Amino acid sequence: IDHILDDILFLSKTKYSQAIISPIQVNLIEFCENLVQKMTLIKNGRSIQFDYLGDCKQVWIDPHIIEAILTNLLDNAIKYSSDRTIVHLLIGNEDEQIILKVKDQGIGIAQVDQDRLFEKFYRGHNVGQTSGTGLGLSIVKTLVDLCEGQIIITSELGMGTTFTIVLPSLPRQFNS
């Protein structure tokens, strides 16, 4: 219940433009390694493979925003894939863009569901009895929009899903 209330409170803050981007210089490799370790503990040892491309040691990000994005995406990847599969997290820093990619070998998302995926409380038709509120991806979309980024989804039913988040390495209001 606390998690659901936190999600609703967060969404109401962003709806009324109370969310503020506070970028700091972060070693994104260490940041993601720590997040993967934390998620692995929380999710009973589920395997998350982490890799990176480019110079990710000193990037400007808001760590709270990146953590919320990746936690939601990794949680969904783990939730909707078999215990026997590996979830992949790939990050990159290229052409003044931060790339965050989460890939699973799960149930996949039907095209008809992809069009509504970021609506509050919407859940795909094939989720079955898997628990969830339908708020996680709405939060991800809100945060990505706040950072003036984009989300790319590739998915095939029964084969898995990849979420690719592309963010400016420095939010526009901080570029000079």
Structurally, how many domains does the chain consist of? 1
CA distance 54 to 82: 31
Q: Please indicate, yes or no, if residue 175 is contained in any of the structural domains.
A: no
Q: Please indicate, yes or no, if residue 176 is contained in any of the structural domains.
A: no
Instruction: List the pLDDT tens digit at each of the 176 positions of the chain.
Output: 455 555 555 555 555 455 678 889 999 999 999 999 998 887 776 889 999 999 998 899 999 999 999 999 999 999 888 888 899 999 999 888 999 999 999 888 888 888 888 887 656 655 556 655 667 888 999 999 999 999 999 999 989 999 999 999 864 454 44
This prediction has a pTM of 0.83
What CATH number should be reported for the domain holding residue 38? 3.30.565.10
Q: Please indicate, yes or no, if residue 20 is contained in any of the structural domains.
A: yes
Helix (H, G, I), strand (E, B) or coil at 66: helix
Helix (H) or strand (E) holding 153, with range, is strand 150-156
Q: Please indicate, yes or no, if residue 127 is contained in any of the structural domains.
A: yes
Q: Please indicate, yes or no, if residue 23 is contained in any of the structural domains.
A: yes
Structural domain of 157? 2-170
